[in-house]
Amino acid sequence: MEHKRSYKYHVEPREADLTKRLTLAGLSDCLLNVACSDAKLSGYGSNDLGPNAGWVILRMGLEVTRLPEELEDITIATWVSDANRLATTRNFEVRDSSGAQIASAVSIWAALDLESRKPLNLNEFDFYSSAIQDFPMPNTPPERLTSPESLIKYTHQVLYSYVDANGHTYSINYLRMALDTLPLETITNHAPVRLDINFMHETRYGERLTIVSDGSPNPLFEILAADGTPACRIRIVWKPVPQNE
Amino acid sequence: MEHKRSYKYHVEPREADLTKRLTLAGLSDCLLNVACSDAKLSGYGSNDLGPNAGWVILRMGLEVTRLPEELEDITIATWVSDANRLATTRNFEVRDSSGAQIASAVSIWAALDLESRKPLNLNEFDFYSSAIQDFPMPNTPPERLTSPESLIKYTHQVLYSYVDANGHTYSINYLRMALDTLPLETITNHAPVRLDINFMHETRYGERLTIVSDGSPNPLFEILAADGTPACRIRIVWKPVPQNE
């Protein structure tokens, strides 16, 4: 396949925040949905990896020129650019209806045995070698984040609406928890430039998580499982948005 | 227009719960999105009502034969069957790819002046009389619910991820808050048969809401604003699902 496969998406009003734009979490939802659809369409979806196997996202680096507005139509191109034994790279380019690129992302995934939680060897999936497309990555790869200087701590209990079909916290909900610790004005007075997110450990229904924030202008978050294991780290780089723009 | 206009929807895995089916809140999101799209396409969307005006949902009665599965394609037909000075009725029929009806809903809406929060007179919108289609309602109208016997109380603070573009709690998030008070097994061991939901008062970012549940098998919930005003009432009627079905 010589082109990047594309998916259309319509921004529903319920996915927009006070800025009337798709939220950072909503955009991330979109990318994960597209990854899932594209893997399935390509013949290597979670169900194709074998019984009790599935794709899990390890890291994502997302760059944003502008977040799309509510009711806007966007197109998301996606392709796999690399795979080694333990991880594969999936890329995204988000374009508006004029064709202008408004966001991009590089994400790293592993295929897991869902019972042992151990990674499967991607080299053993013959069909996967045909997945690779030799287009350059659209932005720098996701960073490996370190723990923030502990400054502010919040707690969040994982309830029904936060878990996925496997009973684990749905990955983008860590981003929602982190954003929910910020004053509303911080979110509405800034536009995201870059998001790095590392998924390190799964958490389950009922767990009481701790969210640690360094409280800096470009905040670094760490979300800890009930036993103190780091589950997710997030850094957001913002730019101020002139009000009454 | 002699037919019911229809919208296609694909159930994304992130919208499914442990039962691998679309959640009740996810189905409700769908219906509200369809209402918004259909009103806009018909020329009477929120933006067409005039500056600082918008549609708000007052009540909904939703009946479910089966919730669609993740990755399933569904079709939602919608039409307006009635309008008086203060409220209008919008209906929904949800069908699977075989054409079988799997859910339906009747919802009541008002057009509000978003500054005064007072309802607009729908009779003054000439264009709206052409909206009415004379098909029968697909189920009984939404019930007006009363306060539950106070039994169990929870609190929920309205944070960023719970508000809509107007800074109010997004209506279906009241349903998420209510479901989040239930033990996970109550949700996964039951299938919803009917949901009645009454939206009575808006709540805002930062408010600490109280969720009162009567704790009965078919639970009745009331969500109170920070000042004690009832904001939303919800009743869910379930049927048990045989496990290992």
- pTM above 0.90? yes
Q: How many whole angstroms separate alpha carbon B121 and alpha carbon B125?
A: 8
Residue B18: list chain A partners with CB under 8 A. Answer: 163, 165-167
The ipTM assigned to this model is: 0.89
**pLDDT value, residue B245:** 46
Torsion angle in degrees (nearest 10) through CA of B63, B15, A14, A235:
160
**pLDDT value, residue A245:** 47
Q: What is the average pLDDT score of chain A?
A: 93
Q: How far is A211 from chain B (nearest CA, A)?
A: 15
The residues pairing with B77 across neighbouring beta strands, listed in sequence order, are B6, B93
Q: Is the pLDDT at A174 greater than 60, yes or no?
A: yes
Least confident of A120-129, B28-37, B190-199, B201-210: A120-129
pLDDT, tens digit, for every residue of A122-133? 888 877 778 889
Maximum C-alpha span of chain B: 55
The residue in chain B having the minimum alpha-carbon distance to the alpha carbon of residue A176 is: B161
Q: Is the pLDDT at A13 greater than 70, yes or no?
A: yes
Residue B161: list chain A partners with CB under 8 A. Answer: 23, 25, 176, 179-180
- In three-state secondary structure terms, B46 is helix
Query: Is the Cβ pair A170, B20 closer than 8 Å?
Result: no
Nearest one of B75, B103, B72 to B5, comparing CA atoms: B75
Residue among A8, A20, A161 with most chain B CBs within 10 A, to mutate: A161
Query: Is the Cβ pair B163, A40 closer than 8 Å?
Result: no
Residue A21: what residue type?
R
B127 or B77: which leads in pLDDT: B77
Q: Is the pLDDT at B193 greater than 60, yes or no?
A: yes
